[in-house]
Structure 1
Amino acid sequence: MHATGVLRDGDATTTGPTDARFEIGSVTKAFTGILLADMVLRGEVALDDPLSRHLPSPRPAWRYRAPTLLELATHRSGLPNTPPPLQRREFLAAIGRCTRDPWDDVTAARYAFMLEATSPRARPGGRAIRYSSMGIGLLGDALAARAGTTYADLLRDRILDPLGMGATNLSPDDQLPGHTRRGRPAPPLRDHMPAAGSLRSTVEDMLRFLRACLDPPSRAFALAAQPYAGSRVKVGLAWFVASHPRKPPIVWHNGGTWGFRSFVAFRPDTGEAVVVLTNTARGLEKLGFGLLDERVHAGVH
């Protein structure tokens, strides 16, 4: 099942069920980036704060130094994408070769052990981008710890409730069933990195979010979408920013879980935006960029 929403000239066009709840996977990271920007503007944290200042434990065994919040948000922490003991399980689930939940026997204590056993080989910082859900997960944990609350409550209080996104949360209740690429039932996502990919949402709610990105209710939305690292594809505070000398910038993120795919993007220059959600593990990037504007998506991957 697909559901899409497109914003042009302030008007929304949708196809498919607008109130069905999908896992949006790594699109969650864009929300975490906005939370970081909000807390920076409030003076609660700084982009150059080391992670250890706000999250003393559990944490990886850093070989060099703890990454900063900015390095975590721009995928320059040196951390792997997921805890090493789970990498093969996640890979098999992602390609539909295994329908077992990779995290089904991972308790909070075992996840903490995995974190502390992780020793990044790469130095934090620098120009190289190494996509890391672990890094964004730790960033969300640090922001919640600094605010003295949970990630779920922090997100609800500062983004979801103000935007009226009542159908968006971390709960798998009432969501659509997911399916692998081969059409087999897929387990819902349940891990210990909520800030990296655990949100569920609807097209209706995501259109509210994209309207806020295009007409920011606070400076945090604009701050998060600014590029901070990268070259051809730049990275904001968890957002990707596709740029080309002869094409306008596109701010975007995609997401994938064991049985869902998602894509959101917006063009600040024209006020256009698109969201595409599906409950099957098949990529949506070509469709999403094409819906945004077929004239500019060529060459953007």
Structure 2
Amino acid sequence: MVKRGIALATAVGLAVAGIGGTAVAEPSVDQAARVDRQVVQRALDDIARTAVQGVQVRVVDGRQEFTARSGTARIDSPRPVPTDGRFRVGSITKTFVSTVVLQLVGEGKVDLDAPVQRYLPGLLPHGDRITVRNLLQHTSGLYNYTEALPLDPDGVVATRYKTWAPTELVALSTAKPLDFEPGTAWQYSNTNYVVAGMLVEKLTGRPYGVAVAQRVLRPLGLRSTSVPGTRIDIPGPHARGYLRAGGQVVDITEINPSVAYAAGEMISTTADLDRFADALLDGRLLRPAQQRELTSTLPITEGYGLGIEAQQMPCGVTVWGHSGGIPGYNSLVIGTADTKTRLTLSATSEPDPGELAGYQELLNEVFC
């Protein structure tokens, strides 16, 4: 649950691993590959050396696809990060949720420009002025409930196993006034997607995670992606994340993700996220009208569409995607609109992060 889409920035909370990496090639090879794997590896080594416990990426460059990694999977072992490892994707969850809402729009079950009050009466004090579009676009003005949580290391450790109901999260937000009149400004707020998840549940009559599984995960064969609910562990192979609290190094891998709910609780892999991004950007998950809505931005939204964000690289190339951050894990999935070039990344936090290096070099090599 980071405050922005594509910036890894707070996305890391990282630090010095100081361990070299290993590139792991996938079967497909293109002799005319544009992306230099050695440059990618050096960038990952810099990221791990300066700011994270471990990092893995999956790069698609036309017909070429490869994975690379650096750092270690654990603080007490030289074992490398598994390139098929699962991780918490944080706010990338929002893109899945927005996709489901837009599918429901295409089926005539919800109107993007209808007030939330129509579908969730009484939930929001200003629900008659906040539209479904405002939620997906972060133009609702709803106070970001995570700002009211104890997200310092000591607070995270103290509350890591607490189970939160979505209504509790919304109540943290609605206890504060709107940050601005709906539709007049843009501000990233996790509250928007908690409400969006509740909207999906109201419209489908099932937990939002069931709708995500039925409408996205199963059709795309994303068998390593899950909506954990209150499950504290990560199933399958995975690297571990750390922080320092009370002067001690704490393994924060296990956490009750209900605190993030539809704003950031999902678990996935680089392979699954890449397949999802490819299908979404390629128009295989939404009808044409909703595909246009997905990437529709306003001057005030700073490149943010409906659960997906555009960012221009220094060389002028525009990429679409989302990033995510939740204690222990930071992630990114981005690609060009034609889906020919894509990058998916997961980084695990270390207890004493330094200043992040190598990240911009990685993006420049892949996209520029």
Do both share a fold (TM > 0.5)?
yes
TM-superposed CA distance for 1:253, in Å, is 1.2
Structure with higher Rg: it is: 2
1:115-156 CA distance string (max 9 Å, x none): 553432421111x21110011111121022111111110000
The alignment partner of 1:274 has SS state of strand
Distance between the aligned counterparts of 1:284 and 1:241, measured in 2?
A: 25
The alignment partner of 1:238 has SS state of: coil
2:284 pairs with 1:217: yes
Summarize the alignment of residues 16-95 of structure 1 with structure 2, pairs less than 5 Å apart.
16=69, 17-57=82-122, 59-62=123-126, 65-82=128-145, 85-86=148-149, 89-90=150-151, 92-93=152-153
Task: Single out whichever of 64-73 and 133-142 deviates more from structure 2.
Answer: 64-73
Q: TM-score w.r.t. structure 1 length? A: 0.82
Question: Structure 2 counterpart of 1:32, which letter?
Answer: V
Contact 1:235 1:241 in 2 (8 A): yes
- Confirm or deny: 8 A CA contact 1:263 1:285 kept in the other structure: no
Number of matched pairs: 288
Indicate yes or no: 2:68 matched with 1:15: yes
Amino acid at match of 2:264: G
Q: Is the CA contact 2:194–2:261 (under 8 Å) kept in the aligned structure 1?
A: yes
More moved, 108-117 vs 246-255: 108-117
User: Normalising to structure 2: TM-score of the pair?
Assistant: 0.69
TM-superposed deviation, 1:267 = 0.7
Alignment-mate amino acid for residue 199 of structure 2: A
CA contact (8 A) 1:23 1:200 kept: yes
Matches of 1:98 and 1:213 in 2, distance apart?
36
- Which ranges in structure 1 are unaligned for 5 or more consecutive residues? none
Could you say if the C-alpha distance between residues 170 and 176 of structure 1 is closer, same or farther in structure 2, counting changes exceeding 3 Å? farther
**Unpaired segments ≥5 residues, structure 2:** 1-53, 70-81
Q: Distance in 2 between matches of 1:150 and 1:5?
A: 31
Find 1:135's aligned residue among 171, 187, 192: 192
Stretch moving more, 211-220 or 66-75: 211-220
User: Does the CA-based 8 Å contact 1:178-1:188 persist in structure 2?
Assistant: no
> How far does residue 160 in structure 1 lie from its aligned partner after superposition?
0.6
Query: One-letter code of the match for 2:306?
Result: L
For 2:269, which of 186, 199, 202 is the aligned residue? 202
Spell out the pairing of 1:186-265 with structure 2 (5 A cutoff). 186=252, 187-220=254-287, 222-223=291-292, 225-230=294-299, 233-243=302-312, 247-265=316-334
Secondary structure of the residue aligned to 1:4 is strand
Partners of 1:245 and 1:216 in 2: CA distance:
26
Contact 1:265 1:292 in 2 (8 A): no
